Amino acid sequence: MNFVTLAARNLGRRKGRTALTVLGVAVAISLLFSLLSFNSGYESQLNREIDSLGVHLLAVPKGCPYEAASLIMHGGVIPKYLSAQDLASVREIDGIKIASPMLLHQFYVSGSPHVVYGVRINETLLLKPWWKVEGRFFSDDEAGVIMVGHSLAEKENLTVGQKIPFGPQREEFQIVGILDRTGEQDDQFHFLPLAEAQRIFRKQDRITTVAVKVEDVREISRIAGEMEKIPSVQVVTMAQITGTIMNLAASARTLLLSVIAVALVISAFGILNTLLMSINERAQEFGMMKAIGASGLDIGRMVMAETVFLTAAGGLLGVGASLVGSGLIESLVKSWLPYAPGGSFLFADPALLAFCLLFSVLMGLICGLYPAVKSSRTSPMEAIRGGME
């Protein structure tokens, strides 16, 4: 016999009440766990996505808002362009490894957007060395050739060698390659040689952006500064893009966090209420224990053990439930967000699991403090007078 069995038996006395309290804690902890794992998952997923661009800096036309930079990540059209001269100026700057021009265009087929990238293939492959292709990559001087992303090919039943009408003039283009799945936005896009894209969309010598990879990431700010000196160019660093999206996400997160804070407070009061009820019912019992040799500390420890039992059980249940139901929670959370990266970002991070369980124990220690102190002060007289009052 020890304090743990004593506490466990006591909780078994009021099974319904114990179960409800555990459930309350479980809900709060599972919310907490979901938010936190979402949080770390969201950031790492976003960073991965930005890494997958393989780009450190983007030169965009002046006046192009930062939000446009995120359009570049997901496609979209910016109504302003850079010139070949701008590209040349960028290339003059020291410390740039790759400066690759791109033209973006977007058109709609039955309401859904199609994004076209005009690219220089060799430079693009340096930026995205992980690209693999079924069929082949086109070369920059070919005409009438196109490559498509994996998901796009799947969705539209496209195969290598197939000829499709494309562009405003419905010219015939041959699909020379289908990119292997990257798990990123690239899976959704059309790719053309830059010159072909400029020709069919009538944007001779125009580019939407210059994607820059630097030799040494420590030089990013110097290089960005020099690029800013080119009159028509505005520079967007990936850190800025991340920051913009993170800021948007932060407001959604604040909302979620306040919901969770409320849930935690409610469940804490639930626990406190249960405990106070239970120690009031047992005042005589505590008095008896004191009479037979328990110290105040013993009584307090027992109440504490019961509380931590309750909340730790709730924590386990909550974490377990949110692992099982993470898919559901994720789709719920994603619908709240201004920008949700692809891929899953709820995963069982062991550190987070440990944190949530620890948090539930901590919650028990805090909620149990007042009831424990209160019951430790029970006078042994209570038992002997036996409800004379």
What residues make contact with other proteins under the rule CB under 8 A?
A: 1-3, 6, 9-10, 12-13, 284-285, 288-296, 298, 379-381, 383-386
Whether residue 263 contacts residue 31, with contact meaning beta carbons closer than 8 Å, is answered with yes
Question: 56 or 301, CB closer to other proteins?
Answer: 301
Unique residue bearing structure tokens 């019961």 = 306
Min dist. Cβ of residue 6 to other proteins (A): 7
Reading phi first (left if > 0) and then psi (alpha if -120 to 50, else beta), residue 108 is in beta
Reading phi first (left if > 0) and then psi (alpha if -120 to 50, else beta), residue 300 is in alpha
Q: What's the residue count for the chain? A: 389
Min dist. Cβ of residue 279 to other proteins (A): 15
Question: 19 or 348, CB closer to other proteins?
Answer: 19
* 3-class DSSP state of 198: helix
Min dist. Cβ of residue 304 to other proteins (A): 15
Question: 202 or 377, CB closer to other proteins?
Answer: 377
Question: 3 or 336, CB closer to other proteins?
Answer: 3
Min dist. Cβ of residue 5 to other proteins (A): 9
**What gap in Å lies between CA 284 and CA 299, rounded to an integer?**
12
Question: 190 or 282, CB closer to other proteins?
Answer: 282
DSSP H stretches of helix in the chain? 3-13, 15-52, 66-74, 84-92, 121-127, 150-155, 194-200, 220-228, 238-281, 283-291, 296-324, 326-334, 350-376, 381-385
Question: 176 or 289, CB closer to other proteins?
Answer: 289
**What gap in Å lies between CA 64 and CA 78, rounded to an integer?**
7
Min dist. Cβ of residue 387 to other proteins (A): 9
Min dist. Cβ of residue 386 to other proteins (A): 5
Identify the CA nearest to 69 among candidates 272, 277, 239. Answer: 239
**What gap in Å lies between CA 14 and CA 340, rounded to an integer?**
45
Min dist. Cβ of residue 41 to other proteins (A): 44
Unique residue bearing structure tokens 């800025």 = 240
Question: 207 or 302, CB closer to other proteins?
Answer: 302
Question: 252 or 291, CB closer to other proteins?
Answer: 291
Min dist. Cβ of residue 298 to other proteins (A): 5
The number of beta carbons lying within 10 Å of the beta carbon of residue 325 is 14
**What gap in Å lies between CA 380 and CA 291, rounded to an integer?**
5
